Amino acid sequence: MLRDVKIGPTVIVIFGASGDLTRRKIIPAIYNLFIDGWLPETFSIVGVARTASTDEAFCHQLREGVDTFSRRGKAKEEEWSKFASAIKYMAADYNDRQTYLSLLEDLDAGWRQSANKIFYLATPPTLFTVIVEQLGQLKAFRGEKNYRIVIEKPFGKDLESARALNQSLTEVFDEAQIYRIDHYLGKETVQNILAFRFANAMWEPIWNRSYIDHVQITVAEKVGVGRRGGYYEGAGALRDMVQNHLLQVMCLVAMEPPTSFQADEIRNKRVDVLSAIRPIEKDEVEKFAVRGQYDRGVVDDQPVPAYREEENVAEDSGKETFVAMKLYIDNWRWQGVPFYLRTGKHLPGRVSEISLQFRPVPHHPFSDSVTPANRLAIQIEPKEGIMLRTQAKEPGLGMKIKPVEMHYTYQEVFKSASPEAYETLLLDVVRGDPSLFMRNDQVEMAWSVLGSVLEIWENSIPVDFPNYAPGEWGPKGAEDLITRDGRSWLVPACLESNRKDGICP
Ligand SMILES: NC(=O)c1ccc[n+]([C@@H]2O[C@H](COP(=O)([O-])OP(=O)(O)OC[C@H]3O[C@@H](n4cnc5c(N)ncnc54)[C@H](OP(=O)(O)O)[C@@H]3O)[C@@H](O)[C@H]2O)c1
């Protein structure tokens, strides 16, 4: 990873700049990089969108976003004024060639000619190809390392559409210029999986099928779809969460040790995992994947609507708001070890956690006690940390075994707030380091892993929807998926009741 690269002048062009993502994530992240001195002295931001506006009105809207969403809270007047002086707004029609002519002309004026130029596509995905093709008709970008393009998720809606989008992109840009965002990869705790595994000698010998019984990855949200019903109707939990975040986290847990931290080395190792995932045959989908949709219910004493009653959602919608899956990785390290994945909306809490459940000891010498197996929990959010459950002798006469936990949280140990994932990722784009971004083969492989499930689910409307109440861990089928194997879902460490050790609220 390129941590010490000196950054030259940089201009960031944001398409879709009037939108939610720009206000909530992109600008607060760039602003924090600016305050922390990571941006070069000479930089500028050009916001592009259809809405008629002025530089002043646009900046005002962005400041509100920073005041509301920045991890640092409200912007300070002097810092904001300096930052805002580098921001311009351009009202534009994405289908008009003139938009891109003016933009490129502007980028080449003054100091910008030699600058890094980053095109950030924060528009609805339907516009990605339009913008790329329009840019490509005006200029040869391939091989021009100072031009980079950032693509937001969703990257396609299946293998075919992802391939088509990759094709459009690679006709205009080299793969090395393309940054496909999966913001999960920018999270500190997700990056820490690599440090934890490969900077400590003790894990590698036991990080395999001989010692690990199974792995669980849970990414749960407490909220429903809220105002994003329109988007969700086209996506669903499988596309929105599993295809990207959960599979990428799984890759980091399962990958082989890299020989270096060069972008392509890390990405090759992640692709190796995806390509070793055992395909799910169409007639086996029911055995390996379960979908759910939330009903109306009560959350924190407040009534909440069913998914089918949400804004912009069809009243007979068959879209899943919950997915549980079982995957196997067919290689030496993981043969026979199931990876259970689950994600959903209106689950009991907001939590992302990876649990590695170790095998039990081969022999129990402590005759009076059952010895539960060790468990390692990597906590991604809301509290970032690591928890290792081991066994200890309970003080007293006789030999009584009791589970105890060793844990650390980032907050306790490092005492400083972690940067937002978007800060990490945007700085990497500015530096030209694509390690934490998805390469074309990774994205396509991830779609391919889910191909049969997508197809079967798309073509069969579930008859039991809605099938779970808000606050439950999904439908009964999710329970059956794992109990059939003689296992059970682990309650994420931070949601275990009566927890008093402060790991998680
Ligand atoms: N919001 C998030 O948290 C989030 C998270 C991950 C990924 N993403 C992805 O990031 C991108 C932007 O998300 P967003 O939430 O900011 O989207 P958004 O607010 O719905 O849209 C962004 C901007 O695009 C323009 N737009 C909307 N519909 C359009 C249309 N049919 N034709 C042309 N322009 C249109 C609008 O600006 P004008 O009308 O002014 O042109 C809007 O302000 C999307 O691809 C989304 O999937 C978003």
Per DSSP, the three-state class of 69 is: helix
Rounded to the nearest angstrom, the distance between the alpha carbon of 237 and the centre of ligand 1 is 19
Rounded to the nearest angstrom, the distance between the alpha carbon of 143 and the centre of ligand 1 is 29
Q: Which residues are catalytic?
A: 245
**Continuous segment of H or E residues that includes residue 74:** none
Q: Is the dihedral of CA 94, 99, 104, 106 positive or negative?
A: negative
Q: Determine the CATH number of domain 10-152.
A: 3.40.50.720
Q: Is the C-beta atom of 19 inside 6 A of ligand 1?
A: yes
Rounded to the nearest angstrom, the distance between the alpha carbon of 62 and the centre of ligand 1 is 15
pLDDT of residue 370 exceeding 80, the answer is: no
Please state the atom number of ligand 1 nearest to the C-alpha of residue 20: 16
**Given this model, what pLDDT does residue 111 score?**
83
Question: Which residue do the tokens 């992240």 mark?
Answer: 29
Q: Is the C-beta atom of 125 inside 6 A of ligand 1?
A: yes
Nearest CA to ligand 1 atom 31: 124
Average pLDDT estimate for 244-269? 94
pLDDT of residue 173 exceeding 80, the answer is: yes
- Please, what is the average pLDDT of the chain? 92
CATH number of the domain at 185-495, out of 3.30.360.10, 3.40.50.620, 3.30.70.1230, 3.40.50.300?
3.30.360.10
Average pLDDT estimate for 92-97? 95
**Given this model, what pLDDT does residue 3 score?**
46
The rounded Cα 469 to chain-centroid distance in angstroms is 25
pLDDT of residue 23 exceeding 90, the answer is: yes
Q: Is the C-beta atom of 49 inside 6 A of ligand 1?
A: yes
**Domain ranges (residues) in the chain:** 10-152, 185-495
Report the DSSP beta bridge partners of residue 390: 404
Nearest CA to ligand 1 atom 5: 21
Per DSSP, the three-state class of 485 is: coil
Nearest CA to ligand 1 atom 6: 153
Please state the atom number of ligand 1 nearest to the C-alpha of residue 231: 47
- CA atoms of 280 and 501, how far apart (whole Å): 41
Residue 4: pLDDT band (50, 70, 90) is low
Q: Ligand 1 test: best mutation among 14, 15, 20, most atoms within 8 Å of CB?
A: 20
The answer to whether residues 343 and 259 touch, using CB atoms and an 8 Å cutoff, is no
Do 185-495 and 10-152 fall under one CATH topology? no
Q: Is the C-beta atom of 127 inside 6 A of ligand 1?
A: yes
Q: Ligand 1 test: best mutation among 62, 123, 179, 183, most atoms within 8 Å of CB?
A: 123
Rounded to the nearest angstrom, the distance between the alpha carbon of 478 and the centre of ligand 1 is 33
Amino acid making up residue 64: E
Rounded to the nearest angstrom, the distance between the alpha carbon of 19 and the centre of ligand 1 is 5
In sequence order, the 6+-apart residues with CB closer than 8 A to the CB of 414 are none
Rounded to the nearest angstrom, the distance between the alpha carbon of 117 and the centre of ligand 1 is 21
Please state the atom number of ligand 1 nearest to the C-alpha of residue 18: 43
pLDDT digits (tens, 9 = 90+) for 284-340: 999 999 999 999 999 999 999 999 999 999 999 999 999 999 999 999 999 999 999
Give which of 292, 318, 293 is closest to 307, Cα–Cα.
293
Q: Is the C-beta atom of 227 inside 6 A of ligand 1?
A: no
Q: Is the C-beta atom of 210 inside 6 A of ligand 1?
A: no
pLDDT of residue 27 exceeding 80, the answer is: yes
Q: Is the C-beta atom of 35 inside 6 A of ligand 1?
A: no
Average pLDDT estimate for 392-417? 86
- CA atoms of 427 and 39, how far apart (whole Å): 8
Residue 497: pLDDT band (50, 70, 90) is low
Give which of 59, 144, 135 is closest to 92, Cα–Cα.
135
Side-chain-side CA neighbours of residue 85 (13 Å): 7
State pTM to two decimals. 0.92
Q: Is the C-beta atom of 157 inside 6 A of ligand 1?
A: no
Please state the atom number of ligand 1 nearest to the C-alpha of residue 125: 45
Nearest CA to ligand 1 atom 46: 124
pLDDT digits (tens, 9 = 90+) for 470-483: 999 999 999 999 99
Q: Rounded to the nearest 5°, which phi and psi values hold at 450?
A: -95, 0
- CA atoms of 259 and 22, how far apart (whole Å): 36
Q: What is the CA radius of gyration of the chain?
A: 24
Please state the atom number of ligand 1 nearest to the C-alpha of residue 21: 16
pLDDT of residue 137 exceeding 50, the answer is: yes
